[in-house]
Structure 1
Amino acid sequence: MLSSRFLWQIWGLLGLALILSTSLVSLLVADQVRRDALNRVEQSLLDQSNALAETAGARIDLGGLLDSEETSRLFTGITSRLTIISESGLVLADNFRDAIDMDNHLDRPEIQLLINEDLEFGVASRFSETLQLSMYYLAFPVKGNQGNQGFLRLAVPLEFIDHQIRALRTRLILGATIVGLVVLLLGYFLALRITIPITEITSLSKNIARGNYQLRLPEVRNDELGVLVKAINELALNVEQTIDQVTVSRNRLAAVLAGLAEGVVAVDSEQQFLHINEAALLMLGISQDDTVGKRFDEVSVFNELKQLIRTCISEQTAVESTINDGAKTIECSCHWMDESGGAKVTGVIMVLEDVTMSARLEEVRSDFVANASHELKTPISAIRGLVETIIDDPEMPADVFDRFMDRIRVQAIRLDVIVQDLLQLSRFDSTTRVREFKAVSLDSVVRQVYQSKQMDASDVQVELRLEVQQEKLWVEGEVEALNQMITNLVDNALKYTDAGGVVTMRINRIGAMAQIEVLDDGIGISKDHSERIFERFYRVDRARSRSLGGTGLGLSIVKHIAQSHRGNVAVRS
């Protein structure tokens, strides 16, 4: 029992508290006694000063210097040191030393207090070079009958007060030591009474922790330790039941994951495998044995997947990507899990979905859009109707003719914009196109777009701002595609920002990623629409979009360019 650390902690804390409290009380008592003693000395010196003020004033009127014997005869019965000082600081008399041997006293602290401050008297404690003692001084202003002013100073040694303090401190320490020993002895037996049951509870709790959930502690006490014993018994029962429930739930979860068509892979922050289901094994072309005791980056899988896992761990954020090896297309979504979500481990959950068939259908649809873009009905029909009207009316007035021709030009421009957007969308959406990625200074691309859009912003009376970090931001990508992506974002912001508004272009680094933001103070967009604005031909306000020359493809192009560069796009409003 003597080896119990808990016992010595309780006893040690008790002893430490006793020592600290005793020391504090001793300091407070000694300080108070000293204050009371100094107050009594001060009052005594003040009373003497009042009684001797008249005699001292007469001495100041007479002038001249007295030796110590003459001063003692003049002020008989005075045991304190007495000094008479003129207004100029000259010592006229002192009962301990001849005045002629003393220097000017005008700079003494107690005298300075009377000179500089409006006080009834001045006091100071310091070491006297004359007497080689610590003294307590009181200076009192006096005035002679002839109007001469000066100071009467009385002083007493502090040795008696210090002696009283030392004697009191000795008695306090002795008394505290005796009381402390008694308290420590009682505290030891009290600590034993607490630690012995705790030691027994600890021993049995360790056995329960090893899996012996059938063990129970005897419930024989009615105090707090008895409550603790009861709680431990209930905990053992609850843990046993919880483990059974967790085992059942884990088996059910394993069955659910095994039946999913999507592949699910879970790794910790060190990329060690936590779980992988059968669908994921089939998609990745590996076996369960390949994952035992290995890290994800040690398994023979797509390098893009390894990079995605590394990015998710380093950025601690969700990342998505589509992987195409020529034979199949897999959509991969990685989600960071940490303790804030209730998880007991940090890591990544990767969800894999084989979208080979969907990708092929999307490619067919993209080809159809590219081919059908030349046959768009609305602008062509408008052009045709205007042209036929001009042909049918050869005598059409010149102003009407000019107006028709202008409308033909507008529709032709619109048709060209739609065709170009469809072609770009098809190009960036293609999964078979070989992308010629190279190192691109993204901040330079942003600056180029900023310069090229200054005139457009000025035309609609919108202020275009640029916020770029000083450091270079290099990314792997296509300059033309990145320029088109940023241009589309800025065009969209300028179209939906009223005159007098502000559009801000911002680029910054977030870990190993580059982030481009285009902010505006325009009309905004509701949550329902914000989830669909990146769909092709989707418009929030179709009438306004057409009047502004929009095709509904700009943001869709932005999305595909971002995804082709292993990025993503989002909107906040």
Structure 2
Amino acid sequence: MRELEGQVDVMENSGAFGIPRVPTRPITWSMTAKAKPHKSSEFKSVLLAIAGHDLRQPLQVIQLAHDFLGRGDRTTSELCQLQSGQEAIDRLKNQLDELVAALQLSEPAKRVKLTPVRVGPLLQRATYENEVAAQTKGISVRAAPTSATIESDALLLGTVLRNLISNAVKYTEPGGRILVGCRHIGANIRIDVYDTGIGITGDQIPRMFKAFTRLDPARHDGLGIGLFIVRQATGILGHRIDVASTPCRGSRFSIFASQAE
């Protein structure tokens, strides 16, 4: 953990890895999520958001890859394989729609039980799942290794990290960089997602966590619920969110969680 702390300290203080130095007066914002941990109605809203947003993203990638492979002349056998693939994609889409509908009608979800969660594997997985999108835009993304363990829920925290990195990719220009890591802050672990993106203005920060909010619709499409998922999930977990950003220079999204004993 000491090695990672050093890496992050150097990054913050000297701009290593291409992350700009934190300015004297960045725009900052902090929120201890108001949603009560374990509140079933909030948990169900997170599940619905995950099903409607996170699970559709890989399906879109699969569909694009399938459409690309279907271009040009194909043999009869290849066409049959492509047709089978399309049928499988359509089944997944229909099942996802049914899952969302079932969640809307389901009984209140069970409470989330916070348990010790290793941060390192979650950072690596969330980074890996956004790597293709980052490379397509010419963005470097990496996760610093860590042995930290926190009190959390792996499913919800993984969703939070995946969405924060995805958001960083969306708002970082080609040639930019994203770094994910964590460090000790008192009795807590602070998980950080740094980017060299376009930054956020002061008036945008409070409203960007609301559902269906897109800070720049002209630049990026989508439903605008990625950061809503982050807020809802962290609310259930009882974690705190901090944001520090400088327009045209970059942002840092941070999640504070209690260190596991």
After TM superposition, the score normalised by the length of structure 2 is 0.54
The corresponding residue for 2:142 is 465
1:489 to 130, 147, 164: 164
Change beyond 3 A, Cα 1:506–1:318: same
Q: What is the rounded CA distance, in whole Å, between the counterparts of 2:109 and 2:177 in structure 1?
A: 40
* Structure 2 residue 184 is the aligned partner of structure 1 residue 512: no
SS at match of 2:122: helix
> Which residues of structure 2 form unaligned runs of 5+?
1-29, 53-85, 246-261
1:173-192 residue pairs with structure 2 within 5 A? none
SS at match of 2:178: strand
Q: What is the rounded CA distance, in whole Å, between the counterparts of 2:129 and 2:32 in structure 1?
A: 32
Residue type of the alignment partner of 1:460 = K
* Structure 2 residue 231 is the aligned partner of structure 1 residue 559: yes
The corresponding residue for 1:542 is 217
The corresponding residue for 1:500 is 175
SS at match of 2:204: helix
Q: What is the rounded CA distance, in whole Å, between the counterparts of 1:556 and 1:570 in structure 2?
A: 15
The corresponding residue for 1:572 is 244
SS at match of 1:506: strand
SS at match of 1:570: strand
The corresponding residue for 1:525 is 200
Q: What is the rounded CA distance, in whole Å, between the counterparts of 2:210 and 2:35 in structure 1?
A: 18
The answer (yes or no) to whether the contact 2:126–2:158 under 8 Å persists in 1 is yes
The answer (yes or no) to whether the contact 2:38–2:236 under 8 Å persists in 1 is no
Structure 1 residue 536: Cα displacement: 0.4
1:441 to 112, 118, 123: 118
The answer (yes or no) to whether the contact 2:182–2:189 under 8 Å persists in 1 is yes
Query: Which has the higher Rg, Structure 1 or Structure 2?
Result: 1
Greater percentage in helix: 1
Change beyond 3 A, Cα 1:572–1:318: closer
The answer (yes or no) to whether the contact 1:468–1:508 under 8 Å persists in 2 is no
The answer (yes or no) to whether the contact 1:545–1:551 under 8 Å persists in 2 is no
> Which residues of structure 1 form unaligned runs of 5+?
1-316, 327-358, 374-408
Q: What is the rounded CA distance, in whole Å, between the counterparts of 2:217 and 2:185 in structure 1?
A: 36
Residue type of the alignment partner of 1:557 = I
Residue type of the alignment partner of 2:178 = V
The answer (yes or no) to whether the contact 2:139–2:177 under 8 Å persists in 1 is yes
SS at match of 2:199: coil
Q: What is the rounded CA distance, in whole Å, between the counterparts of 2:243 and 2:36 in structure 1?
A: 24
1:394-442 Cα distance to aligned partner (Å, 9 max, x none) = xxxxxxxxxxxxxxx9xx99xx6xx78x95xx89xx9853214322101
Residue type of the alignment partner of 2:129 = S
The answer (yes or no) to whether the contact 1:437–1:476 under 8 Å persists in 2 is yes
Residue type of the alignment partner of 1:521 = T
Residue type of the alignment partner of 1:512 = A
Q: Which has the higher contact order (CA 8 A, sep 6+)?
A: 2
Residue type of the alignment partner of 1:559 = R
Change beyond 3 A, Cα 1:431–1:517: farther
Residue type of the alignment partner of 2:167 = N
Change beyond 3 A, Cα 1:320–1:496: closer
Q: What is the rounded CA distance, in whole Å, between the counterparts of 1:325 and 1:507 in structure 2?
A: 25
The answer (yes or no) to whether the contact 1:324–1:431 under 8 Å persists in 2 is no
1:336-351 residue pairs with structure 2 within 5 A? none
Structure 1 residue 318: Cα displacement: 8.8
Structure 1 residue 535: Cα displacement: 0.4
- Structure 1 vs Structure 2 CA RMSD: 3.8
Q: What is the rounded CA distance, in whole Å, between the counterparts of 2:128 and 2:38 in structure 1?
A: 39
After TM superposition, the score normalised by the length of structure 1 is 0.26
Q: What is the rounded CA distance, in whole Å, between the counterparts of 1:501 and 1:519 in structure 2?
A: 11
Identity %: 26
The answer (yes or no) to whether the contact 2:119–2:149 under 8 Å persists in 1 is yes
The corresponding residue for 2:149 is 474
1:200-279 residue pairs with structure 2 within 5 A? none
Q: What is the rounded CA distance, in whole Å, between the counterparts of 2:179 and 2:185 in structure 1?
A: 19
